[in-house]
Amino acid sequence: MFKIPTLMIYNRTLYLVLILLVTISCKEKSKKQDVQSIKDEIAKVAKTYAEISIKEGGSWEGTEYIGDNFSFKNVDFLKAPDSLTDHSYFVRYEGPGWESNKVGYRLYFDWRNAIDIFGKKVDTMVLSKVGLDNYDSYHEEAPWGLDILKAGKSLGLGSYGRFDGEKNVEHFKELESRTVQIHNSETSSGITVNYYGWSALDQKIDLKCNLTIAPDSRITKATLTPSVESNGLSTGFVKFEGIELLKKEHENGWGYIATYGEQTLIPDNLGMVIFYKIEEVETLAESEFDHLIVFKPTALPITYSFAAAWEKEKNGIKTEAEFIAYIDEQLNLLNN
């Protein structure tokens, strides 16, 4: 018998599957096969998953993590090393990821702080295998899907920054430290990111962000909690030339901004939407790279949600009309 790897057990079905696999594998298979079988079976049954995975077996040389005989290790909590920046090759797919059986997302765990989209062609959990074979292989189309959004210098989809009121959004270039905590349960998966000493627009603040996704859902629920009132705190998504911005507000308190069209790296069709509480918003705006929702200054939690709908998603949304029907339905649910 071997020690069961540290994996979240979401419900009784998963627990029974684990016991059965361990019993069989201890008699018939090698330890390596046992572990992979358990991971594969959990991926088939679970409907949400979150993780962050770091390299071991190498060493830091400046801002890059170097080594030939490295392995990846999943951790539940990580404080960003001081050397960590973009393309440090330390964190698998560059940050924490979370997924449902419909879509996956990742947050760049560095100064960029954009949120990217993993388009999925399957309804099983895939993140535990993404980027294992080659650091950025997820940019190439695979049977499970791929990274589909070109975030560039934008917020990606649903990330956050400080808008200067003109054209610039401050990301996290001046930051004392950041941490991430991973959450997996029967009802949801997600991450909590804490930012300490974030300097932007001549003000230093702390910021806490919770991002969670539920089974059978494309929607990530976001909660931002700033330590003090701060001007320009914003969310948004990347804008593309020739793609119309869709907007709607409901009298009961929620609204959305959205786009649909050829917005992927492939290229093919993708819908993106952010739902927001009207009373929390100061204005809708545009920066150089993003469509923005700018929040009123507050030290209270700010709540919004975002979602991506890729045309190659299994049994997914194929047309703009279907996408608009979907986001209108979600807006009605929020307002009821």
**Sequence ranges of the domains in the chain:** 12-45, 49-147, 158-168+211-335
Residue 175 sits at φ, ψ, to 5 deg, of: -145, 135
Burial of 112 (0-12, 13-18, 19+ CB in 10 A): buried
Q: What is the pLDDT of residues 308-330, one digit of tens each?
A: 999 999 999 999 999 999 999 99
Section 158-179 average pLDDT: 98
pLDDT higher than threshold 70 for residue 8: no
Tell me how crowded residue 12 is: count the other CB atoms within 10 A of its CB.
9
Q: What is the mean pLDDT of residues 161-165?
A: 97
Q: What pLDDT was estimated at residue 321?
A: 98
pLDDT, mean over the chain: 90
Mean pLDDT over residues 129-149, rounded? 90
Averaged pLDDT for residues 176-194: 97
Distance from C-alpha of 117 to C-alpha of 136, rounded to nearest angstrom? 14
- As given in the structure block, the two tokens for residue 106 are 């990742």
Alpha carbon 260 to its chain centroid, in Å, reads 19
pTM of the model: 0.89
What is the average per-residue pLDDT within 52-65?
A: 96
pLDDT digits (tens, 9 = 90+) for 209-247: 999 999 999 999 999 999 999 999 999 999 999 999 999
Better-predicted residue by pLDDT, 34 or 290:
290
Q: With 50 as the cut, is the pLDDT of residue 65 above it?
A: yes
Structure-model confidence comparison of residues 30 and 62, the more confident one: 62
Cβ(208)–Cβ(301) below 8 Å? no
Least confident of 19-28, 243-252, 325-334: 19-28
> Cβ(277)–Cβ(224) under 8 Å?
no
Q: What is the pLDDT of residues 109-122, one digit of tens each?
A: 999 999 999 999 99
Q: Model confidence at 252, in pLDDT bands (50, 70, 90)?
A: confident
The identity of residue 97, as a single letter, is G
Cα separation, 44 vs 221, whole angstroms: 24
Tokens of 236: 């948004």
How far apart are the C-alpha atoms of 207 and 168, rounded to whole Å? 20
Whether the pLDDT of residue 2 is over 60: the answer is: no
Confidence of residue 24 (pLDDT cuts 50, 70, 90): very low
Vertex 302: Cα angle to 296 and 305 (nearest 5): 115
Q: What whole-number percentage of the chain has pLDDT above 70? A: 86
Beta bridge partners of 156: 115
